[in-house]
């Protein structure tokens, strides 16, 4: 995939017209020539364009690298990103389509099962959840040590909503014991563990067992103070306020998350 093709796909993913994409970075006419492959884009213009939409530069260039190595890898990264987007936008129609796409990717069981789990979270009335439980069990049994695999931890985070509570509690405790002093670990590891903690807090809320969430909340507060972890840290504060009956504080944090563009996620997930 060439930069012109990736730029066009990025613009479509962002839901922007060419005018909306360029803003004041360059003229629409020039951008149109770049997107059609008639003209190359300067590196500084590309960076300014992506940064103007707060688009993850690392993600953009990772997609470019993988697309040059192997098209299937680019598909994997793209679908993974779209699955995450569909979840936070609480969009079942989009997720249903992505679930079918993920099922066609070979060699990526974590993405396929993860997509199935996200689909389950968006529509827990799905009739095949028993089959999904079996698929999740088979997946974890196939791994030597799933706690060393960030993809597996992300799958576990989603599976927490499907597991028996006692089992989820046991495995989360084991995971957090392994990842003590969480801010010493890599970004991917911190994000994966953070997802597991948030998911477990939500499960504790559903079960009415606030005490069990204490360690997960503490870990969310210990994530590195980086912009990409702000939502996780805020969710930790939300559950801390909720479980300690500081309702005003919990509502204040929900308001912040809504204003950050996560209103559909907040309205469905943080009931």
Over 90: is that where the pLDDT of 228 sits?
no
Quote the tokens at residue 268. 């469905």
Q: What is the pLDDT of residue 104?
A: 65
CB 67 within 8 A of CB 74: yes
Distances (CA, A) of 40 to 22, 30, 31, 46, 208: 15, 10, 10, 10, 57
Average pLDDT over residues 229-241: 91
Supply 14's token pair: 């962002």
What average pLDDT does the chain have? 84
Q: Are 170 and 200 in contact (CB under 8 A)?
A: no
Percent of the chain with pLDDT over 90: 41
| pLDDT per position as a tens digit, 97-106 | 666 666 666 6
What is the reported pLDDT for 218? Answer: 96
pLDDT band at 33 (very low <50, low <70, confident <90, very high): very high
pTM of the complete model: 0.64
Examine the pLDDT at 107 and tell me if it is beyond 70: no
Distance CA 16, CA 8 (A): 10
- Tens-digit pLDDT profile for residues 118-160: 777 777 565 557 788 888 888 888 888 899 988 889 889 888 9
| Whole-number pLDDT of residue 268 | 67
* Residue 234, pLDDT above cutoff 70: yes
Q: Which residues of 176-212 are buried (b: 16+ CB within 10 A; e: fewer)?
A: beebeebeebeeebbbbbbbbbbbbbbbbbeeeebeb
The alpha carbon dihedral of 110, 269, 127, 101 has a sign of negative
Question: For 109, left (φ over 0), alpha (ψ -120 to 50), or beta?
Answer: alpha
C-alpha of 141 from chain center:
24
Kindly tell me if the per-residue pLDDT of 178 is higher than 90: yes
SS (H, E, C) the chain: CCHHHHHHHHHHHCCCCHHHHHCCCCCHHHHHHHHCCCCCCCHHHHHHHHHCCCCCHHHHHHHHHHHHHCHHHHHHHHHHHHHHHHHHCCCHHHHHHHHHHHHCCCCCHHHHHHHHHHHHHHCCCCCCHHHHHHHHHHHHHCCCCHHHCHHHHHHHHHHCCCCCHHHHHHHHHHHHHHCCCHHHCCHHHHHHHHHHHHHHHHHHHHHCCHHHHHHHHHHHHCCCCCHHHHHHHHHHHHHHHHHCCCHHHHHHHHHHHHHHHHHHHHHHHCC
């Amino acid at each position: 995939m060439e930069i012109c093709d990736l730029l066009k796909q990025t613009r479509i993913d962002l839901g922007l017209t060419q005018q909306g994409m360029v803003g004041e970075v360059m003229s629409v006419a020039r951008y149109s020539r770049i997107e059609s492959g008639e003209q190359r884009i300067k590196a500084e213009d590309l960076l300014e364009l992506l940064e103007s939409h707060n688009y993850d530069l690392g993600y953009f260039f990772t997609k470019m690298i993988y697309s040059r190595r192997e098209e299937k890898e680019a598909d994997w990264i793209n679908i993974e990103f779209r699955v995450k987007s569909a979840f936070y936008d609480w969009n079942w129609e989009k997720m249903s389509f992505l679930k079918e796409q993920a099922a066609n990717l070979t060699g990526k069981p974590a993405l396929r099962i993860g997509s199935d789990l996200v689909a389950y979270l968006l529509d827990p009335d799905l009739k095949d959840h028993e089959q999904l439980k079996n698929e999740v069990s088979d997946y974890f049994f196939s791994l030597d040590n799933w706690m060393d695999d960030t993809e597996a931890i992300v799958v576990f985070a989603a599976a927490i909503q499907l597991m028996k509570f006692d089992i989820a509690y046991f495995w989360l405790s084991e995971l957090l014991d392994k990842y003590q002093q969480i801010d010493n670990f890599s970004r991917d590891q911190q994000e994966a563990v953070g997802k597991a903690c948030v998911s477990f807090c939500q499960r504790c809320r559903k079960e009415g067992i606030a005490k069990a969430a204490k360690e997960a909340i503490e870990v969310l507060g210990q994530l590195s103070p980086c912009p990409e972890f702000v939502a996780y840290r805020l969710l930790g504060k939300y559950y801390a306020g909720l479980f300690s009956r500081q309702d005003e504080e919990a509502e204040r944090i929900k308001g912040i998350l809504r204003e950050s563009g996560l209103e559909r996620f907040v309205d469905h997930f943080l009931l």
